[in-house]
Amino acid sequence: MSLAERIFKGDIRAASRLIRDIDDEMESAKDELKKLYAKTGRAHIVGITGPPGVGKSTLVDKIIEVLRGERKTVGVIVVDPTSPFSGGAILGDRIRMQRHSIDEGVFIHSLATRGHLGGISRSTHDIIKVMDAMGKEVILVETVGVGQDEVAIANAVDTAIVVLIPGLGDDIQAIKAGILEIGDIFVINKCDQEGADRLEQELMIMLETGGRRTDKWQPPIYRTEALREKGIEKLVAGMHLHHNMLHQKGLHQRRERERARFEFLEILKSSLLNKLQQHLSRNGELDRMEEALMKREKDPYTLVEEIIQKILPQ
């Protein structure tokens, strides 16, 4: 059987092998992804994002526990910082979520950002599809924790959870630049710390004055103490509530359409750029353009226009 056929049967080894091939950008992975695509679109994809140090990993660990108590199968993608030496993930998900690694209903995988901005790896979208195709009902995506750059998670998930803690000082400022707009659920973790009330009040004011959302959903604010397992069940109930709302109002299909368009354009841009670079390098055209730029005989804008005219003549 092909990797895709084994993945349909829930084979974790096949899924792990394909995920490794995807992350290594192996050409053979594309053929398997083509076979998987028709069996995707069934999972509830949840993103967990927020500044570093807010306890995202502990929160994910406890969310897994509640979901498993509900007999739901869970996929987890943990996007970690990239090691400057090996290119791999610095932090290991199995260290933080080790107790779930022997559970057949949970599949956890770490990814390195490899310099990709936005809090998630380039391969995250494809790895979500692998977990979806193997039958995981809920897929949790924990971002790397880079503050306001994490808005890219909105293009990958159904429900975006923004996690904050009291006492960061610039926590509210960090989300003004974009994370506020993408949050479907807000979590004040470590809510036993001083400043939790003030943080909740500031969040409520910002949400009320931020303008009406097109989906008319009012993002709830949950208080949790992940280490003490407080507030986790209410948070998971809120995840289900948002998921049900999307389906009841027909918004899930709209989000899926937007996500499909985004992924298609990203793949198109990447493929076209790679092909074009190879073509220009092979013909020596890239060297000639570089020389013309260095001598100031041409400017980069004109050169790009000339290339586009050749590829897409009007």
- Model pTM score: 0.86
Please count the other Cβ atoms lying within 10 Å of the Cβ belonging to residue 305: 11
**Per-residue model confidence (pLDDT) at position 51:** 81
- For residue 285, the enclosing domain spans 262-311
Write down which residue in 218, 246, 274 finishes a domain. 246
Whether the Cβ atoms of residue 46 and residue 161 lie closer than 8 Å to each other: yes
Whole-number pLDDT of residue 177 = 54
Residue 251 lies in a domain: no
146 lies in the same domain as 284: no
Question: Which whole-number Å values give the CA distances from 67 to 18, 62, 157, 164, 236, in the listed order?
Answer: 25, 9, 17, 22, 8
- Size of the chain, expressed as the number of residues it contains: 314
From edge to edge, which strands make up the β-sheet containing 44-49? 106-112, 74-80, 138-142, 44-49, 159-164, 185-188, 221-223
Domain for residue 175, yes or no? yes
Read off the amino acid at residue 161.
I
Pair 169, 194 in one domain: yes
Q: What amino acid is encoded at 230 in this protein?
A: K
Structure token pair of residue 305: 């226009």
Q: Which of 252, 83, 17, 266 is nearest to 157 (CA)?
A: 252
**Is residue 163 within 8 Å of residue 58, measured between CB atoms?**
no
pLDDT in 10s for each residue of the chain, 314 residues: 899 999 999 999 999 999 999 988 898 999 999 999 999 999 999 999 888 788 898 999 999 999 999 999 999 998 875 443 344 444 444 455 667 877 889 999 888 655 444 445 568 899 999 999 999 999 999 987 654 445 678 888 999 999 998 886 655 655 555 667 788 999 999 998 888 998 899 888 888 887 777 788 999 999 999 889 999 999 999 999 999 999 999 899 988 998 899 899 988 998 899 899 999 999 899 999 999 999 999 999 999 999 999 888 76
Same domain, 61 and 146: yes
CA 170 vs CA 85, 118, 177, 202: distances in Å: 31, 19, 12, 12
